[in-house]
Structure formats: C-alpha cells, structure tokens
A and B are shown apart, each in its own frame.
Chain A
Amino acid sequence: MAILVLNPLQVTNFFMPAIRNFAGLPVIMQIAICFIIISVALIVYIQFRLFIIRYKGHRLEQKKAKLVPFIDGLITEHILMRTDIDSSSDVNSIIIDTAAFNTPQLSGKESRQILIDRIISYKKGFSGTIALLLRKLYQDLEFDKVSYKKMNAFKWSKKIKGIRELVDMDAPISDVIVLPLTNSKHRELRAEARNAYIKLSKNEPFKFFDISTEPLLMWEQIELFKTITTTKDISIPNFARWITYSNNKSIISFCLKLIVHYKQTDAAPAIVKLLDNKDHTLRAEAINTLGKIKYLPAEDQLIHLYTNQPLTCQLEILKAIGRMETGRNIQFLKQEFLYSTDFDVRKNAAKSIIMSDAQDLIDELFQSSTPENKLILKHAMNPLIKY
C-alpha cells in the first residue's frame, strides 16, 4: 500500500509562487492565504493556551496539596490545640503567634488567599471560643483589611469575594456601604449584599425589603431563606407588613413563604386581602399559604371564591380545604369529586376528602363512583403513591 508522505519543503515549494505573487492573485485567493495564515497561527496559539491553562491548574492544585496540610498544622497547633483557653476565656486578651503564619511559604498573594480560605473553612466548622479565636487570627493577620479592599474594588466579582469573606468571619460592615448594594443591577452582587445585610445589620435587617425595586429571583429567595432561617439572634418581623405595602411581587411571594415557615398566623388578615389581587399566581400562593398556616376563618371565603378562579387557584383552594381538615366543607369536595370534568380537580378533591378522614363518605363514593373516579380514590389512598 502506497503511503503518501508530504514533505514540508515540497509543500512550501508548491505554494511559494502563489505567495510570492500575492499582489497579483485574485482577491479570493488573497483572502484564502490570509485565512490560512491566521488559522495556523491560531491553532498554534490555542495549543499553547491549552498547555498554559492545564499547567496553571496543575500548579495551583500542587500548591494547595502542599500548603493546605501545612496551614492545617499551624491552625491546629496555634488555635485548636491550645491548652490555655476555655469557654470562659476573653479572646481579646489571648495572644496568637502570628509570626508562625507569616512564613516565606505563606507570603505570596496566592498563598495568602489559600490561608484566608482555610481560616474561613475552619471558622464555619466551629463555634464558641475557637470560632472567636479564628476570627482574631484573621484580624491579627490583617486579612480583614484585604477583604475590605476587595469589597471596595471596582470589579463586582471582587466585591462579592470581599463581602463574603467579611460575612463569613463576622467582621463588621457598615450598613451605609451594604444597603445601596442590595439594589444593585448586578444579580450576584445584589444577592450577596442582601445576605450580608441580613446577617450584619443590627437595626433593621429586613430594611432592603422596603427599597428593593429589583425582583427577588427564585435562586435569591433560596439563598435568602437559608440566611434568614439559619442566622442566630435575628429579630423576625411580622412579614404581613410587606404583604400589605410592598409593590414588589417577588418580595410579597417570598414573605408568604417566610410566613409559612414561621407559622405567622397573625399575618393571615393581610394574606386574605391578597385574594383580591389581580395576579392569579400571587393569589394561588396566598391560598396555598392560608392552607398551610391552617387559617380556618378563610375557609368559607375560599369556597365562595372558587367558581370564578382559574384552574391553578381552584386546585390550591381544594388543597387548602384538605389541609385545614375541618370537615365543614366535605359536601363541596364531594360535589367537585363527582361532577368536575377536570381530572386534576377530581384528584385534588379526592386527596382532600381522604385527609378529612370521612370514612362513611369514602365508602359511599366507592359504591357510587365511575371506574375512573374509583381509581382516583384508590390512588389518593395508596400510601406508596406520594403525589
């Protein structure tokens, strides 16, 4: 089998006349030659970049592999294993040997950042005196200044890093600096600032709810929910305040979720007012909340509203009545189960009937229902089927 071997010299010789006579070539050929040169140059450059990316990543990994055990050793020796401290010790009076952390090994910018990340990681895992001592170490090494510098940087990504470090180390940040950032156009920065504000603000941690014009995205709600429900010593307000006055629908929606979490039944009157809201998504959420907090006075109003509601709200009303478990409106549920043409309505009515534990009615429905409705009842009663 003949194998064609291209000699680079032969190739060059073949194309040389064309390259030498570049100006005399048709425009298309000139463009082609330019593109060939650019493409080849880019291929070589990309290979080089690939090598650099991999090399940098590899080097950082190696550095971390070397430094992390060293840092862990230092923290263990100078913070965790100290025998001269107990839970009653005054942390400010304890002297930490910062010189041990200022070794040449930990002098570079990259190494210092690894050290900061490690201290933060330990701080998250401890509470009490050890956590305070780690915070002191962070301050004694003047890493708080580094974090403040990051927070005041122009780049949003640096600002986030700075805020996060300061919050993780419980370093004080002025409300005046963070509050404007809670309404930043940049989503990540806005979210970080809101989380920081809740954790750090001593006066009104929820003040940004009043000034927020940007929507609270679903992701931000998850993050905020976590921060609010896990931060210690935070004064939880009555969220009905924002349900009544806020113009920001996402804030209202988020407050409804917090009302369910904190079981704020005293917020119910404000939620009932939402039943007149034009936005049916918000209305459905309000009905859902009323059901979850078992606000029984609203039950009759929900049934009164039922006929004029879109399907999503109707389903929420059926679920809410089931959750309230009063049994007062069992006939309404029976009627919907027997006569509704919508499958989901019948399914949710059946589930609410089962929840109300009206055994006589269930037996009666088994006798009188169509085969499909019987199946729906069996579905709702089967403990193996969750949804």
Chain B
Amino acid sequence: MQFILDKIAKFYESSIFIYGMALLLVYALLGFFSFIAIRRYLRKESYTNYDHLLTSPLTPGISVLAPAYNEGLSIIMNVRSLLTLNYPRFEIILINDGSTDNSIEQLVKEFELVPVDFAYNAKLKTQPVKTIYKSTNTAFNKLVVIDKVNGKSKADAVNAGINIAAFDYFVCTDVDCILDKDTLLKLIKPVMDEKSKRVIATGATLRIANSCTIDSGVILRMKPPRQLLPRFQEVEYIRSFVLGKMGWTLVNCVPNVSGGLGFFDKEIAIKSGGYDPQSFGEDMELMTRMCRYAYDNKIDYAIRYIPITLCWTEAPVTVKIFMRQRTRWARGLAQLMYSHFKMLFNPRYGRAGLILMPYNFFFELLAPIIELTGLIYFISLLVAGRVNTEYALLLLLFGYSYSVMITTLAILWDQMTFRYYKTWREVLFLCSTTLFESILYHPLIVIFSMRGYFYFLTGKKHTWGNMQRQGFGQVTAKA
C-alpha cells in the first residue's frame, strides 16, 4: 500500500513540476510576445492620423450597445458621455432591460424621447421589446433607447441591441463604463488595417476608475485606486490586458474580448447565434463561438487587441461583491469549457483548438484546483514531517519572485504605451502592490473560483449581477 501511495505521490509531484514549469514558460513567452506587439502598435500609431477618419465619407458606421439594469444613479451622465464619442458615423443603442427604478422616465425626460414605430427584426431571440424610443431633439439623434422585458442577463439585453443595430460593426460596453472619447476611432483601426484576415473582434485595455478624477463622464486624471482591493484589480487588469492579451494578439490567439468594451463584426456575431443568455461568461463564450463559426465556415479570421486604455470601470470595493463577480466568472469559464470541449486539442479548430482551448483548460480552469490540491498535499507533508523547510521556502520564494517580476514587467509595458499616472510616486505605489498580490489577493481568487466551479456543478440559479455601484459623481476624486 505504502509503495502505491509513494508512486502516486511521485507522479503527482512530477506532474505539478511540469505544469509549473509550463506555466512559467507561457508567462515568459507572453511577456516577450506582448513586448513585440506593443512596439509594433506604438510605431504604427506614431504615423497614424485619425483626422482622416473623422472627415471621410468612407468611414464605416458603428453601433454602440449599452445595456442597463437599474442604473438610474448615473444613467443620464453615462449616456451623455457616450454621445460625445469622437466618431463621424455612429449610433448609441441603450437597452433598458426592464429596470425597476426610474431609469426610463429619466431618459425620456432628459433626452426628449418619444416612442416610435420601429420595425424590430428579432434575428436573435430575446425577451419581448416593449417600446423603442427616439429623440425629437436633433442634438440626440444618434440615440435609440430600447425598453424591454427583463431577460435576467446582460446577454439578452445586448442581443436586443444587436437586432436593431444599423451598422456592420458594434461596440458592446456597460453603461456604467467610462470610454475614452476616441474609443471608436482606435477600435476600428485594426479592422481597416488588416491585409487578408477578417477581423471579427477588437478589444482594448480596461482600467479601474475608482480613484480617478472624473467630471461629467470624462476621466480628467488617472490615479491608482487608493483602496487595496480595487488596486489589486488594477494590477491584475494591467497584467491581463497589456501583457496577456497583447501577447496573444501577436499569435492571433486572443481568448476573450472583455464585456466592458468589445468591438465586433455584427454579421459573424449574429451568424454565431449572438450572446448566450444562459452563460455566466457571455463575452468569452461569444468569442469562442465566433471563432468556432469562423473555422467551420473557413473564414480566415483575426481577433486584435490594442494596448492603450480606452475604458474605465468601477471595481468592487468589498470582498462580498468581489466574490460574486469572480464566482460568476469562474462559473462562466467552467460552462465554456464544458460546452466547447470538442474544440480541445481538435486540429480542425486550428490555433483555437490547439493553443487557446488547451491554455484555457490547463492554466485557467485547472489552475485553482491544482493550487488547492497542492496546498492540501503540502500541508499533509508538513504534518507528516516530510518537508525540507529550506527547500520549501526556496521554492516559494522562486514562485513569488517570478510572479512579482512578471507583474512589474506588465506595468513597464503599460508605461511604455502611455505614461498613465501623473507622478512617479503613483507608479511606485502600484508596483508595491505587486509585492502583496500573491499573499493577499491571489488566495481570494482561488477560493472564489472553486466556489464558481461548485455552483456550476450544482447548477445554482442566476440573475443580473447586482454590483451595488457607487456611481461616478461630478468629480469623484479630488485633483
């Protein structure tokens, strides 16, 4: 018996060693790839004149979709902010997903809306649309408001928006997100700049708005969040977007275009079936389905990311809300892997099947499980007195220093892109956060992910996540 147990333990240890080394290698590669991708982007950007796009009659139109549920606290300011986007041909489609607050009354009054006889074509099935509004004031002629029955998911609301979108491309954002005024110009550039591939989606970096100075929906001054939990998220976002997704974009293997801000090819999105209202990670799920559709229909596609920050979102400040968010994300990932398991290691799906899905499976889905089992195994060895303390601490220090190095590298790439914070002290403040991330923040992620997997397995019910936002006031932080 002891012999078998020893053999299992040996096998486990060897597997974990290989897994760990592979993970470190992936991060090193991503660091290298992202450096090349950012350098290329910046060089191209220095020769780009966006004014041509602003004045050209050839500029493609874009529909901006903003679903909202009980966002009455900030809805007017956010819609006003969306209407000021710097682009010659766009429409804002605000989808009020059966809010129980006075969002719709506020909108009708503020933007002089009237119900219109709109020929609604439900290409994607959604909950019924009650009324579609347009403004009688020409200043707001870019705005369309859909008032629909609550679909219990953001996906259902966005699908209704896609159904009435007039243009070939749409941008999906959250109504509480703050967008850079040049967002549409920057997001369409990779589509127009592609030689042979069809760009089916584009994404950009998201940041945390919590401590930024904001006035009337415009970021006046970027600052790292003062509170620890949002600051950890800022660091995580920088690593994920600037290092991770920029690295993946170089090899055309972007796993996901964020729900906070994503640019999509409408035709492919509709033909793929639109957002899945049953999914907890609807953005990633749609992306995977769009890739799958492209492979099935032999469309040579590309998904692109740009390293500059175009969107700011309010991060959860309490552990309770953060737990809800991360549980939902983990559940969405488990759901995605389950429903698209056929793609895993399937050469028919090219890079998506051979690189993307295996990465998601091993290093995203399994990572929390492996970490937790590893911790349990380590404690059992500790109790049995079979741990060489010196070696164990060296290995811990090895993992810790590597993770700090990778995150610091991501901050460097971010600063290379643009000097987002005004002072050196703020950058240092953010860098210092990386020292505590693996000790304080990462364990939370592991626990909440396990919670998400548990809910996935037990099939707990789901509704629109209530983020309990504080909203962005006129000026949310003192300059």
List chain A positions with a Cβ less than 8 A from chain B: 14-15, 17-18, 26, 28-29, 32-33, 35-36, 39-40, 42-43, 46-47, 49-51, 53-54, 57, 157, 160, 164, 187-188, 192, 215, 217-219, 221-223, 225-226, 257, 261, 343-344, 347, 372, 375-376, 378-380, 382, 384-387
Whether B415 and A50, one on each chain, are in contact in the complex, defined by CB atoms closer than 8 angstroms, is yes
Write out the residue numbers on chain B whose beta carbons fall within 8 Å of the beta carbon of A29: 391, 394-395
A223 touches B398 (CB 8 A): no
A39 to B399, CA, bound (A): 10
Contacts of B393 in A (CB 8 A): 14-15
Contact A188 B44 (CB under 8 A): yes
User: Given B46, B117, B135, B191, which contacts A218 in the complex, CB threshold below 8 Å?
Assistant: B191
In whole Å, how far is B375's beta carbon from the nearest beta carbon of chain A? 18
Chain A hits for B391, CB < 8 A: 18, 26, 29
Interface residues as binary, B184-213 with A (CB distance below 8 Å gives 1, 0 otherwise): 000001011111100000000000000000
* B63 CB to nearest chain A CB (Å): 9
Are A384 and B402 also in contact (CB < 8 A) when A51-B424, A218-B191, A221-B58 are?
Answer: no
Contact B427 A32, beta carbon cutoff 8 Å: no
Q: Which residues of B contact A382 (CB under 8 A)?
A: 116-117, 134
Nearest Cβ on chain A to B128's Cβ, whole angstroms: 15
Tell me the smallest distance from the CB of B165 to a CB of chain A, in Å. 9
The contact of A192 among B24, B47, B408, by CB within 8 Å, is B47
Cβ contacts under 8 Å, A218 to chain B: 58, 60, 191-193
Partner of A385, one of B52, B116, B419, B427: B116
A53 touches B119 (CB 8 A): no
- In B95-116, the 8 Å CB interface with A consists of 114, 116
B25, chain A: closest CB distance, angstroms: 12
Within the complex, the shortest CB–CB distance from B425 to chain A, in Å, comes to 11
Given contacts A14-B393, A29-B391, A222-B53, whether A43 and B118 have CB atoms under 8 Å apart is: no
| A15 smallest CB distance to B (angstroms) | 7
Q: Tell whether, in the assembled complex, residue B58 and residue A225 are in contact, meaning their CB atoms are under 8 Å apart.
A: yes
Q: Please indicate the chain B residues that have their CB under 8 angstroms from the CB of A217 in the complex.
A: 192-195
Q: Would A54 and B408 be within 8 Å (CB), given that A29-B394, A215-B195, A217-B195 are in contact? A: no
B113-139, CB under 8 A of A: which get 1 and which 0? 010111101000000000000111000
Contact B412 A50 (CB under 8 A): yes
Contact residues on B (Cβ < 8 Å of other chain), bracket = 35 or more
The 0/1 profile, CB within 8 Å of A marked 1, for residues 170-184 of chain B is 000000000000000
Residues of B at the A interface (CB closer than 8 Å) are 17, 24, 43-44, 46-47, 49, 52-53, 55-60, 91, 114, 116-119, 121, 134-136, 141, 166-167, 189, 191-196, 390-391, 393-395, 397-398, 401-402, 404-405, 408-409, 411-412, 415-416, 419, 424, 427, 431
- Docked complex Cα distance between A54 and B428 (Å): 12
A379 contacts B117, C-beta separation under 8 Å: yes
Report the Cα distance A222→B89, complex, angstroms. 14
B423 nearest in chain A by CB position: A54
Known: A14-B390, A54-B424, A160-B47. A222 touches B416 (CB 8 A): no
User: A46 with B405: in contact, given A378-B117, A379-B118 (CB under 8 Å)?
Assistant: yes
Are B52 and A188 in touch, CB under 8 angstroms? Answer: no
Contact of A257 among B44, B58, B411, B416 (CB under 8 A): B58
Closest to A155 in B: B43
**Does the CB pair B398–A32 fall under 8 Å?**
yes
Shortest Cβ gap from B233 to chain A (Å): 21
Query: What's the nearest-Cβ distance from chain A to residue B118, in Å?
Result: 6
A35→B119 contact, CB < 8 A:
no
A43–B394 touching, CB < 8 Å: no
Instruction: Assess the B419–A57 pair: CB atoms within 8 A.
Output: yes
Q: Cβ of A18 and Cβ of B394 under 8 Å apart? A: yes
Q: Decide: B114 and A17 in contact? CB cutoff 8 A.
A: no
20 sampled A-B residue pairs with Cβ under 8 A: A18-B390, A29-B391, A35-B398, A43-B404, A46-B409, A53-B415, A54-B424, A192-B47, A217-B193, A218-B60, A219-B193, A222-B56, A222-B58, A343-B119, A379-B119, A384-B135, A384-B141, A385-B118, A386-B166, A387-B166
